[in-house]
Amino acid sequence: MLATLSSLVDKIRSAIQLWTLLLTLLPLLLLADYLKHKRPKNYPPGPRRLPFVGNLFQFDLVVSYLHLGIQPFVKKYGNLISLDFGNISSVIITGLPLIKEVCTDMEQNFLKRPRIPSREHVFKDNGIVFSSGQTWKEQRRFALTILKNFGLGKKSLEQRIQEEAQHLVKVIEEEKGQPFDPHFRINNAVSNIICSITFGERFEYEDSQFQELMKLIDATLCSAASVTLVLYNAFPSIFKYLPGPHQTDFRNWEKLKMIVGSIIDSHRKDWNPDEPRDFIDAFLKEMTKYPDKTTTSFNEENLICSTLDLFLAGTETTSTTLRWALLYMALYPEVQEKVHTEIDGVIGQWRQPSTDDRDSMPYTNAVVHEVQRMGNIIPLSIPREVTADTTLAGFHLPKGKMILINLTALHRDPKEWATPDTFNPEHFLENGHFKMRESFLPFSMGKRACPGEHLARTELFIFFTTLLQKFTFKPPVNEKLSLKIRMGLSLTPVSHRICAVPRL
């Protein structure tokens, strides 16, 4: 009896001690947080941060992180806004003049990518998209060479895209004008182009492994918007111990790396250094040039990560844009009719569309650009980091801050676009001629801009024109198509069905 009583007293005493400890620690923790995030002199203004969480809970978490915070922050604070996501302090840049300074004039200070904990968990600092310094320079330069030289092989890249477009037409014809979800067919077709560059082969759409891979990628990119992944990035040291969708996400990434790894293994088996078939072969050859592995980024990890980066970046973005394109055609039949008329006049029904036709097809070209403007699939570009204390528009940007470029604001700027929130190809036309617009930057700009721009634009034009040559896209009877967005690593249409009615 006495013993239990004394142990109870002990327990109470230690509980009190724990509380006193926490209570004494709390002001210290608050002070540490305050000092760590104290805004320096001349720092861009922004909504007040709360201790520990920053601005994380002040508005709709995921939505604002990836896209449209509903608050009209720019009106209140101006073109540089500071926002803290938990531990990550960022500054959001709005407006063409400032975007140009960050991406070109002063780009030396903004070429780095920040360390994103979820990315680092899987890739370390390897690959192209999120690497920095020497690794980034080497990996990006190498990827660009491969992308450029690839057209020189047996078959030009353009020819390959034309052939793939015919495969796509064939599987869509099989739907016989009935409602179907175009998502994975378009993904397969687009992915096959980058597959042929990275893996040296295309896959049949029915190939079950290919379908598994496409589903895995879709799930992975979609879970990038999960709340716990955003929280993991804000508080990695806590959330790494907690269960949740972010753990599934990490497992998916490991699976993707393993799939790429096994493709690399089978390349090694029949590798001929004198006849590189694809990116992987060329990379294997590059690795042999550096016996000392410590001075180069051409190693096993980068082989996997750069291949995966190219494969993912080359699949998701372009196919999402094409899905937006078909959706806009179904919703704007008068625009679609003008595209049909132009195709019939310039190409006819039997010849394959090619990029040589682009100059004689200003309307179709304008439509593709307008789809990219409205689709706006990477709304905050990919984050950068300040590498040296910098003054921008009179504000002080300390080294280490994350920089986000608000492409949505640029693509929807009422001062730049006649009807900013409405699909309107006239934005890119003047007296019947195509007119490029300065405020159109879906691929960003400068040394870190999208290296796949040329490939993407070729694919978009040929796939889109070939599909419109053969089909009229319509909403299914009694189903309403919407422009609602599904959040993910990029902004995609919500899952929907569409009818592709053969034109002949």
Query: Cα separation of 94 and 87, whole Å?
Result: 23
Is the CB of 110 or the CB of 253 nearer to ligand NAG? 110
Contact indicator for 233, 87 with CB cutoff of 8 Å: no
Cα dihedral across residues 74, 76, 82, 85: positive or negative:
negative
Considering only residues 42-101, where is the footprint of ligand NAG by CB under 6 A?
64, 68-69, 73-74, 92
Is the CB of 83 or the CB of 368 nearer to ligand NAG? 83
Assigned token pair, 176: 């016989």
Q: Is residue 81 involved in binding ligand HEM (CB under 6 A)? A: no
Q: Is residue 365 involved in binding ligand HEM (CB under 6 A)? A: no
- Number of H helices and E strands in the chain, helices first, is 18, 12
Query: Cα separation of 169 and 164, whole Å?
Result: 9
- Which entry of ligand NAG, ligand HEM, none binds 313, CB below 5 to 8 A by partner kind? ligand HEM
Q: Is residue 488 involved in binding ligand HEM (CB under 6 A)? A: no
Compute the least distance from the CB of residue 334 to ligand NAG, in Å.
Answer: 27
Cα dihedral across residues 83, 85, 87, 88: positive or negative:
negative
Name the residue number minimizing CB distance to ligand NAG: 409
Compute the least distance from the CB of residue 491 to ligand NAG, in Å.
Answer: 13
Compute the least distance from the CB of residue 316 to ligand NAG, in Å.
Answer: 21
Tell me, what amino acid is at 402?
M
Binding region for ligand HEM (CB under 6 A) out of 92-100, 307-315, 332-340, 418-426: 307-315
Assigned token pair, 35: 């000092």
Q: Is residue 410 involved in binding ligand HEM (CB under 6 A)? A: no
Compute the least distance from the CB of residue 41 to ligand NAG, in Å.
Answer: 23
Query: Cα separation of 166 and 202, whole Å?
Result: 14
User: Which of 208, 469, 196 has the alpha carbon at shortest distance from 350?
Assistant: 469
Binding region for ligand HEM (CB under 6 A) out of 75-83, 208-216, 289-297, 311-319: 311-319
Q: Is residue 443 involved in binding ligand HEM (CB under 6 A)? A: yes
Query: Cα separation of 393 and 463, whole Å?
Result: 42
- Which entry of ligand NAG, ligand HEM, none binds 409, CB below 5 to 8 A by partner kind? ligand NAG
Contact indicator for 479, 497 with CB cutoff of 8 Å: yes
Assigned token pair, 121: 């968990």
Is the CB of 140 or the CB of 411 nearer to ligand NAG? 411
Compute the least distance from the CB of residue 442 to ligand NAG, in Å.
Answer: 15
| 80-85 vs 88-93, strand pairing mode | antiparallel
Query: Cα separation of 192 and 336, whole Å?
Result: 27
Tell me, what amino acid is at 391?
T
Query: Cα separation of 130 and 118, whole Å?
Result: 11
Residue in 119, 412, 448, 457 binding ligand NAG, rule: CB under 6 A: 412
Q: In 149-183, which positions are buried (b, 16+ CB within 10 angstroms) versus exposed (e)?
A: ebeebeeebbebbbbbbebbbebbeebeeebbebb
84 beta partners: 89
Query: Cα separation of 147 and 295, whole Å?
Result: 25
Binding region for ligand NAG (CB under 6 A) out of 43-51, 119-127, 234-242, 403-411: 403-411
Q: x/- binding map, residues 115-144, to ligand HEM, per CB under 6 A?
A: -------------xx----------x----
- Which entry of ligand HEM, ligand NAG, none binds 216, CB below 5 to 8 A by partner kind? none
Compute the least distance from the CB of residue 413 to ligand NAG, in Å.
Answer: 8
What phi, psi does 489 have (nearest 5°)?
-65, -30
Q: Is residue 224 involved in binding ligand HEM (CB under 6 A)? A: no
Query: Cα separation of 53 and 85, whole Å?
Result: 7
- Which entry of ligand NAG, ligand HEM, none binds 408, CB below 5 to 8 A by partner kind? ligand NAG
Burial of 2 (0-12, 13-18, 19+ CB in 10 A): exposed
- Which entry of ligand NAG, ligand HEM, none binds 362, CB below 5 to 8 A by partner kind? none
Binding region for ligand HEM (CB under 6 A) out of 41-49, 118-126, 266-274, 444-452: 444-452
Q: Is residue 444 involved in binding ligand NAG (CB under 6 A)? A: no
Residue in 132, 296, 408, 472 binding ligand NAG, rule: CB under 6 A: 408
Compute the least distance from the CB of residue 107 to ligand HEM, in Å.
Answer: 9
- Which entry of ligand HEM, ligand NAG, none binds 246, CB below 5 to 8 A by partner kind? none
Q: How many residues sit close enough to ligand HEM to count as binding (CB under 6 A)? A: 26
Question: In this structure, how many other beta carbons lie within 10 angstroms of the beta carbon of residue 369?
Answer: 22
Query: Cα separation of 133 and 371, whole Å?
Result: 34
Query: Cα separation of 244 and 229, whole Å?
Result: 9
Contact residues toward ligand HEM (CB under 6 A) are 128-129, 140, 147, 194, 309-310, 313-314, 317-318, 321, 377-378, 381-382, 442-444, 448-452, 455-456
Contact residues toward ligand NAG (CB under 6 A) are 64, 68-69, 73-74, 92, 406, 408-409, 412
